[in-house]
């Protein structure tokens, strides 16, 4: 049913289409017809007007030219006559034959119809005839006054133009030649002037002024022989022209032009007088002939136009029908094609969906997402589309979370890449050449995983002018790859650094070996050389002692060199461990001061050491390593500072440490030679020495700073250095330690509260630090950096009645040393008040003098709060304790030591040293022997065992363990001291773990060994 | 070559003109028929029957009155050059027409390579003595042929015969012959051989016009001129046939128009009832018409005359002259040259040419006047 209705509807539509087509065709035909008629009519009218205008110009031109031709023709003929009369000779007039011959030649010469002379009797002589002319030639009726143009209407309508010239002085056969003339056939003359055309629309005529015809030729529609004026009397003259005026023009020989209708023919006539005659030359154009021709042409054109239009319409209709048929056919074909296309499209869509799904899977698998942007012709973005895969890649669910706007993406760009990415994006969009491709890597802030690296690439489809149409691209999550790359890059950098370091280290080691060769050979040269000299001068005791002293110095240097090398080796091998134990910071610092004191003095350096804001004095640290660090720094400072220079140490506690920790900054400063900037970069690298070191004669291994740096690193601290060549160097070690017993007591000492104290020290830092401490404990401190001023302060206080309760005076001050200051102050205040000498130097040499001057007590720098409090709180009377006599070896007398040493030389050295000290010595060649000897010994046989570690058969550790494992407790408990070249900390630890009681490193430092022995045997 | 072409074109034009003239005559006759009803008793007005006859004659006569299409007859002259001498009665336009025929024939021979030298001379008055002198002079100059339009048969014939006798080749031509019957030994004659009939015919027309009643005058040219006298005789004979007709006077104008005019005026004075004038030469009708018009009697006097004078034809056209007998002067001149060449070549009459070559005379009336004016003078009005 639906199909039927559809068919009827289609049929109705087709009918309407046909009706519309026919109507349109008819309309087009009507338009064609009307336009053709209109154009033809306009062309005809215009042509007529043009013809009239052209006719007027044409006629005037024609008439003028032809009149001129006629006039010139006549003139020429007169010239012929004149010329002939000039050339005629008497011989030509001797006979009729001669005259005829002459006339014949002239006629031939000028090409005229007739050339003749007439005598006074009217006899006309020509080339071949002699005739009577009186009745034939009217001009013979009288005397010619001059050249005359006349016409003769001869029998048979032979109208002739006769040009006669009077002759004066010629006679022929007794008669006077009266006239000479030529005769021209008018018809021939006119015919040469008439424009002969196919339709013969232009005519030329000659008329007398009275309108009589001179010719035998028809003049247009006017037959020959008719009087023109008579004929035109009946003509219908056009507007602006009149018969009377034309007639008047003819009578008065005036030029003119008229247009008229005659016998149904529209004609234009132009007339112009011929000069020298009473003739009027006329030109006639039959306008209607031209018009009819034009009309004929126009009609023909119109007919052809109509026929063409009809053919066109028919052709159009035929084409229309063909097109309809073809369109139906095409429609059927297209319908079939649409069905087929529909199937193909559906299949294609299915395939596309499959491929899309596959592509989604690929995107999902690859971690990539599509995006697209559409632009108008001005590169203005019309739309932006982010694929769901992309959204999911960056942790967003849908368009609400991540709208289809380019800003959604831009807002998430990492600031470091944002500008670059945006520039690349717009550069690509605005690159109308299409060469540029968007291909960038950047970080994008994901919703859940922070910034991740993405790779985005895209290309633009463009219009012909290059403006963008569609920008389609792909995102790929490359974060893992990027991080891998970064890791690889870092590794690469590290490897490169390592390689560089290795290469540098290699070079440094080479340098080191060169230096070591030099450094080792130097003391060895001294040792060997002085040993030889000592042997050679064995009898000269003083000289030998001097040699031995130098040998000792060189040996010590050589030993320190070896120690450093070994330390570095252990650090690099990772065998050095930080072992934190409770330590008292003041003790550490005082020990350090004590250690360097001798060198400070020997090198004649100024030494300052002080503290600032230290409130945590008991800390958990590796005291040994901290000492090593500070001593290394001080050793360097002293080494590179010339006599008179300053070396200072300062300990500052920072207050930025977390709870339970204390943060310290150790500053070691000197005014030495400083370091170059180049060397500063490598100062902490092993085997590095400023190239000037050896040159300057300063010995070193080049390992001190590397060891220091490594230890600081192991302690979790930092070390920095600033230096300027020629001015000095400052090392700052920052370390954080766990505190053990909290802060020191900071409460006010009631006994001292409000009492005045005077601090005099040329070091401002010391003044400040001590003053602060005094304030903490409740005193009223004053300070001065001048000794004289301190005296003055004391005097002033005494005079004011507000004396200082205590005086803390530096020993060495520039303007006045501390002893003198004390002496003067004592002179003011008497002996009541305590005066404390605060010094960084060993005061033992001046202690007696100082006490005589009135010094109450000595206090070693740096002074800590606890120490100051203790000093001020303790009774000011000092009980002199008996100092142990380190040189007293009486305690060793009778003591028997078992020396376990495999090296015979070492055995000999040790035995000699220990025997010298009073010990009885027994020797065992290795551990096993030692164990046997102990096992075989009776309790009390040996008081102590000095155990080498590395020995054949049985090493020292094993031997110690077996001894300790002996059942005889007395034997198993014999003190054992490791005396070994294994001098490292772990060696010490191993020794203790093996059950030993002490550790003495080789080479034997006799005093230290004695002290150790004394302590253990005590 | 160009001139030949132009010549042919001119001839062709003339043929076209003749065809137009015939058509024009038919048109005019139609008008005449419708305009001339009644008036049969009017001696001047043409009757219906006259008009009808005239129309019949016009159609043929207008075409044949003058044959300007003359071509040489194909005779091959034996010589390349000829010298002729022609003399005629007197200097007069009529002989100028003959001269044109001679001129054209000479030109045609010239185009065929034969030169015709000729003299064509006449005295100013028609005097036999002068003509004799001329003939005598010519005989001494060795012309191939001498031609003469005999002014006086009686007096000139002996001279001709003498010339013949002297071995001269003499022929007569134009209007007046001196024939064998006159005892003349001329070799041949080319011209009008029917002057008497011409006079009779014209007179008959006049008589008919006058309804055979009335007094008429006869004007003659030169006394003893054969053609003139013959025409007069023919006229008289016709008049004599009609009792109602009367010859009032006969007068000779000596081929002078002025004299004819004067004679006519006198006749008119003398004959107030004059009804017609018969003119026997070319000058007579012109002078007569002038006088009649001058006298205002053109409506009462019927004039008939000879020849083709333009003024006479105009009077004919205007109805002053009733009829004119037009001779074919052109053919006379043309044929005279052809016959002279043959005579010069020694041919005798009957071999290549007749002993008398007759030329036509055509009587034309008013309605043919314009045509004839056009034919002869190129004037259509």
Nearest chain B residue (CA) to A223: B380
Alpha helices, DSSP H only, in B115-225? 128-139, 153-165, 195-209
The rounded distance, in Å, linking the Cα atoms of B260 and B285 is 8
Nearest chain A residue (CA) to B98: A155
Residues of chain A below pLDDT 70 = 1-15, 17-18, 21, 25, 29, 32, 36, 40, 42-55, 157, 194-201, 287-298, 301-302, 305, 366-367, 508, 511-512, 515-516, 518-519, 522, 686-702, 875-890
How many interchain CB pairs under 8 A, A with B? 107
Phi, psi (5° rounding) for residue A987?
-65, -40
Q: B342 exposed, middle or buried (CB, 10 Å; 0-12, 13-18, 19+)?
A: buried
The rounded distance, in Å, linking the Cα atoms of A236 and A265 is 10
A134/B124 CB distance under 8 A: yes
Which member of A123, A213, A223 has the closest CB to residue B121?
Answer: A123
**Domain B10-66+195-328+362-377 part of CATH 3.40.50.2300:** yes
Which member of B3, B96, B379 has the closest CB to residue A135?
Answer: B96
B378/A128 CB distance under 8 A: no
Q: Is A423 on the interface with B (CB under 8 A)?
A: no
Strands (E), chain B: 81-87, 115-121, 145-148, 170-174, 189-191, 214-220, 245-252, 274-279, 302-306, 321-327, 356-358, 361-365
pLDDT in tens, B250-278: 999 988 899 999 999 999 999 999 999 99
Nearest chain B residue (CA) to A227: B381
The rounded distance, in Å, linking the Cα atoms of A312 and A322 is 15
Give the minimum alpha-carbon distance from B26 to chain A in angstroms, rounded to a whole number: 17
Q: Is A532 on the interface with B (CB under 8 A)?
A: no
Pair B247, B77: CB distance under 8 Å: no
DSSP state of B223: T
Q: A230 exposed, middle or buried (CB, 10 Å; 0-12, 13-18, 19+)?
A: middle
Distances from the Cα of B318 to the Cα of A225, A389, A1001, B282, B299, angstroms:
17, 127, 187, 18, 11
Locus of tokens 């390592």? A498
The rounded distance, in Å, linking the Cα atoms of A9 and A13 is 6
Scanning A157-216 for CB atoms below 8 A from B yields 157-159, 185, 187-188, 191, 212-213, 215-216
From chain B, the residues in CB contact with A215 under 8 A are: 378
Radius of gyration, CA atoms only, chain A:
74
State yes or no: cis peptide before A862, omega within 30 of 0.
yes
What pLDDT score was predicted for residue A37? Answer: 72
DSSP state of B243: T
The rounded distance, in Å, linking the Cα atoms of A673 and A679 is 13
The rounded distance, in Å, linking the Cα atoms of B370 and A710 is 159
Alpha helices, DSSP H only, in A892-926? 904-917
What pLDDT score was predicted for residue A697? Answer: 52
Nearest chain A residue (CA) to B85: A130
The rounded distance, in Å, linking the Cα atoms of A112 and A114 is 5
A129/B95 CB distance under 8 A: no
Q: Is A325 on the interface with B (CB under 8 A)?
A: no
DSSP state of B144: S
pLDDT in tens, A443-495: 888 888 888 888 888 888 888 888 888 888 888 888 888 888 888 888 888 88
Give the minimum alpha-carbon distance from B376 to chain A in angstroms, rounded to a whole number: 4
SS3 A250: helix
A155/B116 CB distance under 8 A: no
Pair A807, A777: CB distance under 8 Å: no
The rounded distance, in Å, linking the Cα atoms of A23 and A12 is 16
B378/A123 CB distance under 8 A: no
Total Cβ atoms within 10 A of residue A290: 21
Residues paired with residue A129 on neighbouring β-strands, in sequence order: B118
From chain A, the residues in CB contact with B100 under 8 A are: 154-156, 158
Report chain B's terminal Cα–Cα distance, integer Å.
35
pLDDT in tens, B319-339: 999 999 998 889 999 999 999
Strands B189-191 and B214-220: unpaired
- B interface with A, Cβ–Cβ < 8 A, is 3, 6, 9-10, 13-14, 17, 20, 66, 68, 91-93, 95-97, 99-100, 103, 106, 110, 115-122, 124, 308, 310, 329-330, 373-381
What pLDDT score was predicted for residue B212? Answer: 94
Q: How would you write A617-646 as a 3-class SS string?
A: CEEEECHHHHHHHHHHHHHHHHHCCCCCCE
Nearest chain A residue (CA) to B370: A225
Give the minimum alpha-carbon distance from B96 to chain A in angstroms, rounded to a whole number: 6
Query: CB within 8 A of A805, min separation 6: which ones?
Result: A752, A755, A756, A757, A779, A833, A834
Cα dihedral angle (B102, B105, B107, B113), rounded to 10 degrees? -130
Q: Is A129 on the interface with B (CB under 8 A)?
A: yes
| Topology (CATH level 3) of domain B81-192+329-359 | Rossmann fold (3.40.50)
From chain A, the residues in CB contact with B118 under 8 A are: 128-130
Pair A820, A787: CB distance under 8 Å: yes
A154/B100 CB distance under 8 A: yes
Which member of B91, B92, B378 has the closest CB to residue A153?
Answer: B378
Which member of A128, A158, A185 has the closest CB to residue B116?
Answer: A128
Nearest chain A residue (CA) to B331: A156
pLDDT in tens, B155-170: 999 999 999 999 999 9
A153/B93 CB distance under 8 A: no
Averaged in consecutive runs of 10 residues, what is the pLDDT profile of chain B (381 residues)?
32 37 36 28 35 39 73 93 93 88 93 94 88 92 93 90 93 86 90 91 94 94 86 95 94 91 95 94 93 94 92 92 91 94 93 88 88 79 63
Give the minimum alpha-carbon distance from A53 to chain B in angstroms, rounded to a whole number: 33
Total Cβ atoms within 10 A of residue A686: 26
Residues making up chain B, counted from first to last: 381
The sign of the CA dihedral A861, A867, A872, A878 is negative
What pLDDT score was predicted for residue B232? Answer: 95
Phi, psi (5° rounding) for residue A146?
-170, -170
Radius of gyration, CA atoms only, chain B:
21
Distances from the Cα of A648 to the Cα of A616, A813, A840, B154, B336, angstroms:
21, 15, 10, 197, 177
Pair A123, A133: CB distance under 8 Å: yes
Residue of B97, B330, B371, B378 to mutate when probing chain A, most A C-beta within 10 A:
B378
What pLDDT score was predicted for residue B19? Answer: 37
From chain A, the residues in CB contact with B8 under 8 A are: none
Residue of A155, A186, A200 to mutate when probing chain B, most B C-beta within 10 A:
A155
Give the minimum alpha-carbon distance from A75 to chain B in angstroms, rounded to a whole number: 22
The rounded distance, in Å, linking the Cα atoms of A955 and A978 is 11
Q: What angle do CA A615, A617, A622 make, to 5 degrees?
A: 140
Domain boundaries, chain B: 10-66+195-328+362-377, 81-192+329-359
Tell how far CA A509 is from the center of its chain: 44
Strands (E), A492-584: 581-584
pLDDT in tens, B282-330: 999 999 999 999 999 999 999 999 988 889 999 999 999 999 999 888 9
Query: What pTM, to 2 d.p., does this model score?
Result: 0.47
Locus of tokens 């001061």? A593
Query: CB within 8 A of A664, min separation 6: which ones?
Result: A585, A614, A651, A652, A653, A654, A734, A735, A736, A737
Question: Identical fold at B10-66+195-328+362-377 and B81-192+329-359?
Answer: yes
Nearest chain B residue (CA) to A131: B120
Question: Considering only CA atoms, which of A976, A922, A931, A986 is closest in space to residue A953?
Answer: A931
Question: Considering only CA atoms, which of A460, A445, A451, A476 is closest in space to residue A369?
Answer: A476
């Amino acid at each position: 049913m639906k199909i039927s209705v559809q068919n009827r509807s289609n049929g109705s539509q087709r009918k309407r289409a046909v009706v519309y087509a026919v109507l349109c065709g008819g309309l087009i035909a009507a338009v064609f017809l009307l336009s053709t008629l209109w154009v033809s009519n306009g062309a005809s009218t215009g042509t007529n007007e043009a013809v009239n205008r052209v006719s007027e110009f044409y006629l005037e031109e024609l008439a003028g030219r032809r009149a001129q031709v006629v006039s010139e023709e006549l003139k020429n003929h007169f010239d012929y006559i004149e010329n002939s009369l000039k050339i005629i000779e008497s011989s030509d007039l001797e006979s009729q034959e001669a005259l005829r011959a002459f006339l014949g030649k002239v006629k031939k010469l000028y090409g005229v119809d007739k050339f003749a002379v007439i005598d006074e009797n009217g006899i006309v002589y020509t080339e071949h005839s002699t005739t009577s002319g009186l009745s034939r030639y009217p001009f013979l009726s009288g005397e010619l006054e001059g050249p005359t143009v006349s016409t003769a209407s001869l029998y048979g309508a032979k109208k002739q133009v006769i040009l006669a010239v009077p002759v004066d002085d010629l006679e022929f056969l007794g008669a006077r030649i009266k006239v000479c003339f030529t005769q021209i056939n008018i018809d021939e003359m006119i015919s040469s002037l008439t424009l002969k055309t196919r339709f013969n629309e232009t005519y030329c005529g000659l008329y007398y002024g009275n309108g009589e015809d001179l010719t035998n030729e028809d003049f247009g529609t006017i037959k020959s022989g008719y009087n023109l004026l008579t004929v035109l009397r009946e003509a219908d003259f056009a507007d602006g022209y009149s018969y009377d005026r034309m007639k008047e023009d003819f009578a008065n020989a005036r030029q003119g032009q008229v247009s008229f209708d005659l016998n149904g023919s529209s004609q234009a006539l132009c007339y112009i007088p011929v000069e020298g005659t009473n003739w009027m030359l006329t030109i006639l154009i039959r306008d209607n002939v031209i018009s009819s021709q034009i009309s004929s042409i126009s009609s023909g054109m119109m007919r052809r136009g109509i026929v063409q239009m009809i053919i066109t319409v028919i052709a159009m209709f035929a084409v229309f029908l063909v097109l309809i048929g073809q369109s139906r056919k095409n429609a059927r074909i297209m319908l079939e094609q649409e069905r087929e296309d529909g199937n193909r499209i559906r299949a294609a869509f299915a395939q596309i969906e499959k491929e899309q799904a596959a592509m989604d899977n690929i995107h999902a698998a690859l971690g990539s997402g599509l995006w697209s942007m559409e632009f108008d012709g001005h590169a203005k973005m019309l739309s932006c589309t982010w694929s769901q895969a992309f959204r999911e890649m960056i942790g967003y669910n849908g368009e609400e979370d991540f709208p289809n706007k380019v800003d959604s993406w831009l807002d998430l760009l990492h600031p470091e890449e944002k500008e670059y990415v945006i520039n690349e994006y717009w550069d690509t969009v605005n690159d109308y050449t299409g060469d540029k491709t968007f291909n960038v890597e950047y970080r994008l802030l994901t919703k859940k995983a922070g910034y991740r690296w993405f790779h985005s690439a895209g290309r633009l489809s463009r219009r012909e002018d290059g403006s963008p149409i569609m920008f389609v691209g792909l995102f790929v999550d490359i974060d893992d790859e990027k991080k891998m790359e970064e890791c690889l890059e870092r590794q690469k950098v590290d490897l490169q650094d390592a390689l560089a370091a290795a290469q540098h280290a290699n070079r440094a080691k080479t340098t080191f070996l060169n230096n070591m060769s030099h450094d080792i050979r130097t003391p060895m040269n001294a040792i060997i050389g002085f040993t030889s000299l000592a042997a050679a001068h064995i009898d000269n005791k003083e000289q030998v002692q001097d040699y031995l002293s130098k040998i000792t110095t060189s040996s010590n240097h050589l030993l320190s060199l070896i120690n450093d090398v070994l330390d570095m080796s252990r650090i690099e091998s990772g065998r050095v461990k930080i072992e934190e134990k409770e330590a008292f910071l003041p003790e550490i610092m005082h020990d350090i001061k004590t250690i360097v004191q001798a060198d400070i003095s020997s090198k004649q350096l100024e030494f300052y050491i002080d503290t600032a804001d230290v409130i945590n004095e008991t800390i958990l640290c590796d005291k040994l390593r901290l000492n090593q660090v500070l001593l290394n720094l001080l050793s360097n400072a002293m080494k590179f500072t010339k006599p008179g220079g300053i070396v200072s140490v300062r300990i500052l506690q920072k207050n930025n440490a977390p709870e339970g920790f204390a943060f310290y900054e150790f500053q070691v400063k000197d005014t030495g030679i400083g370091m170059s900037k180049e060397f500063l970069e490598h100062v902490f690298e092993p085997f590095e020495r400023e190239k000037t070191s050896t040159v300057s004669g300063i010995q070193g291994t080049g390992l001190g700073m590397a060891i220091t740096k490594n230890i600081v690193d192991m302690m979790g601290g930092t070390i920095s250095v600033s230096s300027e060549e020629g001015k000095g160097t400052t090392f700052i070690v920052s370390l954080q330690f766990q505190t053990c017993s909290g802060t020191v007591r900071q409460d006010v000492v009631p006994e001292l509260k409000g009492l005045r104290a005077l601090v005099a020290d040329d070091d401002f830092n010391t003044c400040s630090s001590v003053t602060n401490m005094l304030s903490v404990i409740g005193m009223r401190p004053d300070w001065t950096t001048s000794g004289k001023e301190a005296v003055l302060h004391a005097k002033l206080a005494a005079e004011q009645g507000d004396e200082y309760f205590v005086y803390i005076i530096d020993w060495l001050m520039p303007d006045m040393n501390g002893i003198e200051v004390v002496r003067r102050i004592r002179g003011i205040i008497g002996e009541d008040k305590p005066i404390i000498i605060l010094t960084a130097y060993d005061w033992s040499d001046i202690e007696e003098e100082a006490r005589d001057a009135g010094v109450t007590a000595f206090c070693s720098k740096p002074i800590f709060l606890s120490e100051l409090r203790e000093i001020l709180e303790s009774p000011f009377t000092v009980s002199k304790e008996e100092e142990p006599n380190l040189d007293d070896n009486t305690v060793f007398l009778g003591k028997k030591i078992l020396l376990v040493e495999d090296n015979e030389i070492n055995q000999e050295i040790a035995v000699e040293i220990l025997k010298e000290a009073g010990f009885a010595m027994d020797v065992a060649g290795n551990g096993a022997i030692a164990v046997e000897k102990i096992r075989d010994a009776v309790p009390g046989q040996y008081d102590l065992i000095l155990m080498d570690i590395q020995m054949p058969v049985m090493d020292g550790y094993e031997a110690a363990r077996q001894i300790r494992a002996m059942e005889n407790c007395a034997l198993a408990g014999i003190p054992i001291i490791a005396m070994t070249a294994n001098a490292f900390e772990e060696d010490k630890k191993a020794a203790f773990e093996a059950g030993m009681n002490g550790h003495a490193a080789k080479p034997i430092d006799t005093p230290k060994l004695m002290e150790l022995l004394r302590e253990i045997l005590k | 070559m160009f001139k030949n072409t132009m010549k042919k074109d001119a001839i062709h034009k003339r043929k076209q003109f003749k065809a137009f003239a015939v058509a024009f005559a038919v048109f005019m006759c139609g008008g005449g028929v419708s305009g001339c009803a009644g008036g049969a008793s009017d001696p001047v007005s043409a009757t219906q029957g006259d008009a009808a006859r005239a129309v019949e004659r016009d159609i043929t006569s207008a075409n044949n009155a003058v044959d300007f299409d003359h071509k040489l007859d194909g005779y091959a002259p034996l010589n390349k050059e000829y010298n002729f001498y022609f003399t005629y009665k007197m200097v007069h336009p009529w002989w100028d027409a003959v001269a044109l025929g001679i001129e054209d024939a000479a030109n045609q021979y010239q185009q065929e390579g034969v030169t015709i030298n000729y003299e064509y001379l006449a005295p100013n008055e028609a005097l036999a003595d002068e003509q004799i002198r001329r003939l005598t002079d010519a005989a001494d100059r060795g012309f191939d042929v001498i031609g003469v339009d005999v002014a006086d048969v009686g007096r000139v014939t002996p001279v001709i015969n003498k010339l013949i006798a002297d071995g001269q080749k003499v022929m007569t031509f134009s209007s007046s012959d001196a024939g064998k019957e006159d005892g003349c030994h001329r070799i041949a004659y080319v011209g009008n051989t029917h002057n008497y009939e011409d006079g009779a015919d014209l007179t008959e027309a006049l008589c008919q016009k006058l309804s055979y009643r009335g007094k008429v005058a006869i004007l003659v040219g030169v006394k003893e001129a054969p053609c003139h006298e013959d025409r007069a005789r023919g006229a008289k004979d016709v008049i004599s046939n009609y009792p109602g007709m009367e010859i009032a006077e006969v007068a000779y104008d000596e081929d002078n128009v002025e004299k004819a005019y004067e004679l006519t005026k006198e006749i008119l004075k003398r004959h107030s009832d004059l009804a017609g004038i018969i003119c026997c030469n070319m000058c007579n009708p012109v002078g007569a018409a002038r006088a009649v018009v001058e006298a205002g009697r053109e409506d009462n006097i019927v004039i008939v005359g000879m020849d083709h004078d333009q003024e006479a034809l105009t009077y004919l056209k205007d109805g002053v002259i009733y009829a004119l007998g037009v001779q074919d002067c052109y053919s006379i001149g043309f044929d005279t040259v052809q016959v002279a060449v043959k005579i010069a070549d020694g041919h005798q009459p009957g071999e290549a040419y007749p002993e008398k070559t007759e030329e036509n005379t055509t009587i034309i009336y008013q309605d043919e006047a314009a045509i004839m004016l056009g034919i002869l003078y190129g004037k259509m009005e």
